[in-house]
């Protein structure tokens, strides 16, 4: 049997035999108690490595420096109270206790409090986030909207129990009372950023014309506090909700020296919540005074303008001649013309009345019938004298005879009515005796071509010509010329025109 001894000369085999056996769990629990007793409260500074947030609400992370890494865990209750949520690369100071996790033979720190390692670390992280969002264009000036002059409804996102909401409502009631909708949110802690972003998007989702009035302006307000207290308004969710909002937004976070990322993306930044109320609405009394002043200026301007018009019209009136001088002469001419017109109309009416009376005296039914009978007899006498041969040989002699007849009738106007009637009857008998119709009664006929001209010889007819033959009693017969006729060597001469019968006007003597 060989016995090994250690440096102290103690018998190692004998000590091993005296040790009691332990299970793995017993040993792990013994180590756990030893570590927790020895490191019950520690404060560690380091950089956050990986960060894991499972659905349970706990936060798992790792703290590291240049050489070592230690795991850490924040239980759900602790993580919900953090003002600044842990992010990878953030330098923090973690306060808690060491413990072991027997399931993996690992030790870790259970964090009870986590804070950035000084304001410089937070500011560095804030500056990096600001530069990234600025490069994305979220803070561009052309994205900012104008604040309405007189909003009808204002939506306020803030804590309902703080002094901020009372200050805003008081200032609004003093300056210009209007409708106010308050969306209560937490203004610090872990729930601050989700609730504020949800409130902004909720106001923006209200449809115009619905049962709930859509705000014309939003105010996101919070009182003063440390950088950690205001950190919720630096979260990306809040900044993007404000950038996507279609309603003009005023940011009033903290005091005048406090600047958050929400201030950069908002359409207007107010130094304090009270200042936000002052920027949101004008002073009603000032508006009324300004309106009264403008009304007075407008009235005075109108009076001056009317006075200038009156002055100019007076000057122009002095240069123009008087209306009586312009139209007096024409008015007098019109009066004279009216008098002459009335007198002329009366004279003309009297003249026409006399002429009508004379015509009415001559145009009696008995007189007219007698004249018509005499005229009919005269026409019959003239027609009797006109034979077919004479119609084709009407000359100047006939016209001279007719003119003599007219002269005779004119001279006969001085004769008595009986002598004129006898003379007219004689002329009528003469015309009837000379009429070609008396010749037709003896068995003769009158041949006319298609144009109604009398055909007196066969030379005036060619075969195929349409002819009209008139017999006694005004009976007519249409015929076509046969081949017995000879063709004309020359073009057909125009037939002599019907002789104009100058019938004397039997009414001239009357």
Could you tell me if residue 107 is inside a domain?
A: yes
Enclosing domain of residue 196 = 146-282
In sequence order, what DSSP letters do the residues of 95-108 get, joined into one string? EEEEEEETTTTEEE
Asked if pLDDT for residue 394 goes beyond 60, the answer is no
pLDDT at 410 (0 to 100): 61
Could you tell me if residue 495 is inside a domain?
A: no
154 and 271 part of one domain:
yes
Q: What is the pLDDT of residues 411-464, one digit of tens each?
A: 655 555 667 677 778 787 777 777 767 777 776 787 887 777 777 777 767 777
Computed over every residue of the chain, the mean pLDDT equals: 79
161 and 271 part of one domain:
yes
Could you tell me if residue 246 is inside a domain?
A: yes
258 and 155 part of one domain:
yes
Q: Which residue among 237, 258, 282 closes a domain? A: 282
Cα 468 to Cα 239, 281, 389, 447, 475: the distances in Å are 118, 114, 18, 6, 10
Asked if pLDDT for residue 183 goes beyond 90, the answer is yes
Angle at 233 between CA 228 and CA 235, to 5 degrees: 90
Which CATH number do you get for residue 73?
2.40.50.140
Q: Which residue among 248, 282, 316 closes a domain? A: 282
Q: How many domains does the chain have?
A: 3
User: Based on C-alpha coordinates, what's the Rg of the chain?
Assistant: 68
pLDDT at 241 (0 to 100): 93
Could you tell me if residue 232 is inside a domain?
A: yes
| Residue 215 β-bridge partners | none
274 and 172 part of one domain:
yes
pLDDT at 508 (0 to 100): 44
86 and 193 part of one domain:
no
Asked if pLDDT for residue 168 goes beyond 70, the answer is yes
Could you tell me if residue 160 is inside a domain?
A: yes
What is residue 202's DSSP assignment? Answer: H
Higher pLDDT, 386 or 56: 56
Cα 112 to Cα 40, 44, 63, 280, 412: the distances in Å are 12, 12, 14, 43, 159
Q: What is the pLDDT of residues 344-356, one digit of tens each?
A: 888 888 888 888 8
414 and 472 part of one domain:
yes
Q: What is the pLDDT of residues 216-230, one digit of tens each?
A: 999 999 988 777 778
pLDDT at 247 (0 to 100): 93
163 and 255 part of one domain:
yes
CA distance 444 to 436: 10
* Of 274, 260, 506, nearest in space to 382 by CA: 506
pLDDT at 5 (0 to 100): 46
CA distance 47 to 111: 14
What is residue 11's DSSP assignment? Answer: B
Which CATH number do you get for residue 216?
3.40.50.9100
Could you tell me if residue 90 is inside a domain?
A: yes
Higher pLDDT, 228 or 232: 232
Q: Which secondary-structure segment (H or E) carries 205?
A: none
Q: What is the sign, positive or negative, of the torsion defined by CA atoms of 45, 48, 49, 50?
A: positive
Q: Which residue among 282, 299, 319 closes a domain? A: 282
Contact assessment for residue 301 and residue 308, using Cβ atoms and an 8 Å cutoff? no
Q: What is the pLDDT of residues 250-302, one digit of tens each?
A: 999 988 778 888 989 999 999 889 999 999 999 888 888 889 999 999 999 99
Asked if pLDDT for residue 8 goes beyond 70, the answer is no
Tell me which long-range contacts 454-462 makes (C-beta under 8 A, separation of at least 24). Answer: 454/388, 454/391, 454/392, 454/495, 456/392, 458/484, 458/485, 458/486, 459/486, 459/488, 460/488, 460/492, 461/485, 462/487, 462/488
175 and 244 part of one domain:
yes
60 and 167 part of one domain:
no
pLDDT at 318 (0 to 100): 80
Phi, psi of 466 (to 5 degrees): -85, 130
Q: What is the pLDDT of residues 10-48, one digit of tens each?
A: 445 555 556 778 788 878 888 888 877 788 788 888 888
Pinpoint the alpha helices (H) of 363-453: 365-385, 388-392, 396-411, 417-434, 436-441
212 and 266 part of one domain:
yes
Cα(first)–Cα(last) distance of the chain, in Å? Answer: 196
pLDDT band for position 509 (cuts 50, 70, 90): very low
65 and 150 part of one domain:
no
Asked if pLDDT for residue 359 goes beyond 50, the answer is yes
Could you tell me if residue 209 is inside a domain?
A: yes
397 and 434 part of one domain:
yes
* Of 177, 176, 179, 181, nearest in space to 156 by CA: 181
Higher pLDDT, 475 or 86: 86
What is the mean pLDDT of the segment spanning 89-107?
82
Could you tell me if residue 128 is inside a domain?
A: no
Asked if pLDDT for residue 131 goes beyond 50, the answer is yes
CA distance 167 to 274: 6
Q: What is the pLDDT of residues 144-153, one digit of tens each?
A: 899 999 999 9
């Amino acid at each position: 049997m060989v016995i090994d001894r250690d440096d102290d000369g103690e018998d190692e085999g004998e000590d091993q035999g005296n040790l009691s056996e332990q299970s793995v769990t017993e040993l792990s629990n013994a180590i756990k108690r030893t570590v927790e007793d020895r490191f019950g409260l520690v404060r560690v500074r380091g950089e956050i490595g990986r960060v894991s947030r499972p659905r349970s609400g706990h936060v798992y992370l790792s703290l590291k420096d240049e050489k070592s890494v230690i795991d850490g865990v924040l239980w759900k209750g602790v993580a919900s109270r953090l003002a600044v949520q842990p992010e990878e690369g953030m330098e923090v100071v973690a306060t808690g206790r060491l413990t072991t996790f027997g399931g993996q033979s690992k030790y870790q720190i259970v964090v009870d409090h986590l804070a950035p390692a000084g304001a410089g670390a937070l500011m560095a992280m804030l500056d990096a986030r600001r530069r990234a969002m600025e490069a994305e264009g979220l803070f561009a000036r052309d994205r900012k909207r104008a604040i309405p002059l007189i909003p009808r409804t204002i939506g306020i996102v803030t804590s309902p129990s703080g002094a901020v909401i009372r200050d805003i409502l008081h200032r609004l009631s003093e300056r210009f009372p209007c409708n106010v909708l308050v969306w209560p949110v937490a203004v610090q802690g872990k729930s601050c950023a989700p609730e504020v972003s949800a409130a902004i998007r909720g106001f923006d989702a209200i449809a115009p014309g619905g049962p709930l009035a859509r705000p014309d302006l939003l105010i996101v307000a919070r009182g003063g506090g440390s950088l950690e207290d205001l950190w919720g308004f630096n979260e990306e969710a809040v900044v993007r909700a404000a950038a996507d909002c279609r309603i003009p937004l005023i940011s009033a976070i903290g005091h005048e020296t406090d600047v958050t990322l929400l201030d950069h993306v908002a359409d207007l930044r107010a130094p304090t919540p009270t200042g936000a109320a002052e920027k949101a609405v004008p002073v009603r009394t000032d508006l009324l005074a300004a309106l009264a002043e403008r009304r007075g200026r407008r009235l005075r301007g109108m009076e001056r303008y009317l006075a200038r018009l009156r002055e100019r019209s007076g000057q122009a009136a002095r240069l123009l001649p008087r209306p009586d001088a312009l139209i007096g002469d024409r008015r007098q001419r019109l009066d004279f013309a009216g008098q002459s017109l009335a007198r002329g109309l009366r004279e003309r009416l009297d003249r026409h009345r006399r002429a009508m009376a004379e015509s009415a005296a001559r145009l009696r039914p008995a007189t007219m019938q007698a004249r018509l009978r005499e005229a009919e007899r005269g026409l019959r006498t003239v027609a009797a004298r006109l034979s077919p041969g004479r119609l084709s040989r009407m000359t100047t002699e006939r016209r001279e005879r007719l003119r003599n007849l007219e002269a005779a009738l004119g001279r006969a106007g001085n004769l008595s009515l009986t002598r004129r009637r006898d003379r007219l009857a004689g002329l009528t008998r003469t015309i009837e005796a000379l009429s070609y119709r008396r010749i037709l009664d003896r068995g003769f006929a009158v041949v006319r071509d298609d144009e109604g001209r009398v055909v007196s010889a066969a030379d005036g007819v060619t075969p195929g010509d349409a002819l009209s033959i008139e017999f006694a009693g005004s009976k007519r017969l249409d015929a076509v010329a046969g081949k017995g006729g000879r063709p004309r060597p020359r073009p057909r001469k125009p037939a002599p025109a019907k002789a104009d019968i100058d019938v004397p006007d039997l009414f001239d003597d009357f």
